[in-house]
Amino acid sequence: MRWLLLKDLQILRRSPLQAVLLVAYPVLIAILVGFAISRDPGKPRVAFLNEVPRNARISVGGAQLPAVGVGGRICRRIECVDVGSRREAIEEVRSGGVLAALILPADLVDQLNSLSTPSPGTPTVEVIVNQEDPVKARLVNDRISSLLARANLLIARRIATEGGRYLDLVVNGGRFSVLGQPVEILGLGAGARILQALRPALPPGPLRSSIDQVIRFATLARDNLDIAAPLIDRLAQPIVVEKRVVNASTPPLDVFAIAVAATLTLTFVTVLLVAGSLALEREENAFPRLTRGLVSRSALLGEKVGLGVAVGLMVTLLMLAAVQLFVPLHWSRFGLWLTAILAAAGALGAAGAALGAAAREVRAVSLLAFMISLPIAFLSLIPSGAVGPVLFDAIEVVTALFPFKPALEAISAALDPAGPSIGGPLLHLAILTVAYGLIARFALRRFAAA
């Protein structure tokens, strides 16, 4: 078997371009995919036109609120490209220089202020998007909607805070400034107390009854408006999110990204190498000559899987060593890494052997390996809840039949010190190794007869 292994390595060495592609391409793709799923989408570039006058303020009850700074806050969450006019904004969107344009019209604050008048207007902001790409359009819609929801929340909170202050003045009294002049507000509580003090001085009769009514109203109003203040505050954000983690086994995003990158690398290197080298025996017509008594079919399969495991392990470890430059890894868990990678490579190699035994040519088998591995890898990354339950169950079944997902789980668990047990994924991989090994062995019988 070692002579066959040596021969395969000689063939790999003879095809440096193929060898580099076999190693470099999966590593590159794996790193890109890993980092793509672990990083924020980044700040989208949005053309921003703020036509609201600088001194415009939202007012409540005739008093102006301090500047909310919505424009500044928006530009913290997106990359604002300042434009001077609507036409310029539209041109930027059309040319693709920005994802969208957001225009705050000059009358926005007036419209907001009109909400507390008998004839309320509709405060509106204008969003210009380019719908040529549905994915991009959805991203922009989600981003802009989220930004506006935040802006609305901010304004509502300011209004609620100011409203609460005025309500407090009405209930408890205090100082208030009107046109720069301080005004002393008595408040319902103090008013009721004054009336209470005056009441004994009044003779029984209709006037005293009226005073009693006013005292009752003031007391009732004070007691109930005390409750109204926090209610107004809550109106600004009626629902509060309380996050509770029920499955604490999820690895940190960086670790998960590295696990995805490592598993993708291992998958492509191992599956392609095993499938390709097995198909090469057929393409070179060497298979019948070898299995006439020189090598048993099981030994040939073992050699191919061994080749895939050895090269896959080496490339994956090199990739992890390179990743270490950017993200610290727990090298103290190296034994677990090795276990996970070897188990994963074994199952992936067996799957590659089954694929290799099914095709006649190296090119066909390489295509087949890509066609199966890539979609399975992407399906394995779909989180629960992202699709309907029936579809997710179907995805779970499909991904459980290929070693990518258990390999990812095993490598994630090996990389993450706080991760779940590695036992389950290792058992899953062992079962798949045996199953694919048997399929490959059976397919080799056809391989020779064909």
CA distance 264 to 29: 8
Out of 104, 144, 259, 295, point to the residue binding another protein (CB under 8 A). 295
Residues of this chain, 376-395, that bind another protein according to CB under 8 A: none
Nearest to 37 by CA among 253, 222, 214: 253
Give the nearest distance from C-beta 363 to another protein in angstroms.
15
Using CB under 8 A as the binding rule, whether residue 286 contacts another protein is answered as yes
Out of 179, 325, 449, 450, point to the residue binding another protein (CB under 8 A). 449
Q: Which of residues 133 and 284 has its CB atom nearest to another protein in the complex? A: 284
Tell me the Ramachandran region of residue 62: left when phi exceeds 0, alpha when psi lies from -120 to 50, beta otherwise.
left
Burial class (CB in 10 A: 0-12, 13-18, 19+), 247: exposed
Contact 139, 147 (CB under 8 A): no
- Long-range contact pairs involving 177-186 (C-beta distance under 8 Å, separation at least 24): 177/63, 178/62
Give the nearest distance from C-beta 270 to another protein in angstroms.
21
Q: Which of residues 282 and 428 has its CB atom nearest to another protein in the complex? A: 282
Residues of this chain, 198-257, that bind another protein according to CB under 8 A: none
Contact 31, 84 (CB under 8 A): no
Pairing of strands 45-50, 79-82: parallel
Q: Residue 349: which H helix or E strand, with range? A: helix 334-358
Contact 270, 347 (CB under 8 A): no
Q: Which of residues 138 and 289 has its CB atom nearest to another protein in the complex? A: 289
Using CB under 8 A as the binding rule, whether residue 288 contacts another protein is answered as yes
Using CB under 8 A as the binding rule, whether residue 24 contacts another protein is answered as no
Size of the site for another protein (CB under 8 A): 20
CA distance 66 to 266: 58
Give the nearest distance from C-beta 10 to another protein in angstroms.
6
Out of 73, 138, 234, 289, point to the residue binding another protein (CB under 8 A). 289
Binding mask 389-428 for another protein (x = CB under 8 A): ----------------------------------------
Q: Which of residues 290 and 431 has its CB atom nearest to another protein in the complex? A: 290
Q: Which of residues 22 and 31 has its CB atom nearest to another protein in the complex? A: 22
Using CB under 8 A as the binding rule, whether residue 290 contacts another protein is answered as yes
Contact 411, 262 (CB under 8 A): yes
Using CB under 8 A as the binding rule, whether residue 3 contacts another protein is answered as yes
CA distance 218 to 196: 11
Residues of this chain, 322-341, that bind another protein according to CB under 8 A: none
Give the nearest distance from C-beta 269 to another protein in angstroms.
19
Out of 200, 293, 335, 389, point to the residue binding another protein (CB under 8 A). 293
Out of 7, 57, 86, 208, point to the residue binding another protein (CB under 8 A). 7
- Long-range contact pairs involving 22-25 (C-beta distance under 8 Å, separation at least 24): 22/268, 22/269, 22/272, 22/273, 23/269, 23/311, 23/315, 25/268
CA distance 345 to 269: 9
Give the nearest distance from C-beta 5 to another protein in angstroms.
11
Using CB under 8 A as the binding rule, whether residue 442 contacts another protein is answered as no
Q: Which of residues 241 and 449 has its CB atom nearest to another protein in the complex? A: 449
Q: How many CB atoms lie within 10 A of CB 364?
A: 14
What single-letter DSSP state applies at residue 200?
G
Q: How many CB atoms lie within 10 A of CB 160?
A: 20
Pairing of strands 174-178, 181-185: antiparallel
Q: Which of residues 5 and 67 has its CB atom nearest to another protein in the complex? A: 5
Give the nearest distance from C-beta 356 to another protein in angstroms.
16
Q: Which of residues 303 and 416 has its CB atom nearest to another protein in the complex? A: 303
Using CB under 8 A as the binding rule, whether residue 450 contacts another protein is answered as no
Q: Which of residues 14 and 54 has its CB atom nearest to another protein in the complex? A: 14
Binding site for another protein (CB under 8 A): 3-4, 6-7, 10-11, 14-15, 284-286, 288-290, 292-295, 448-449
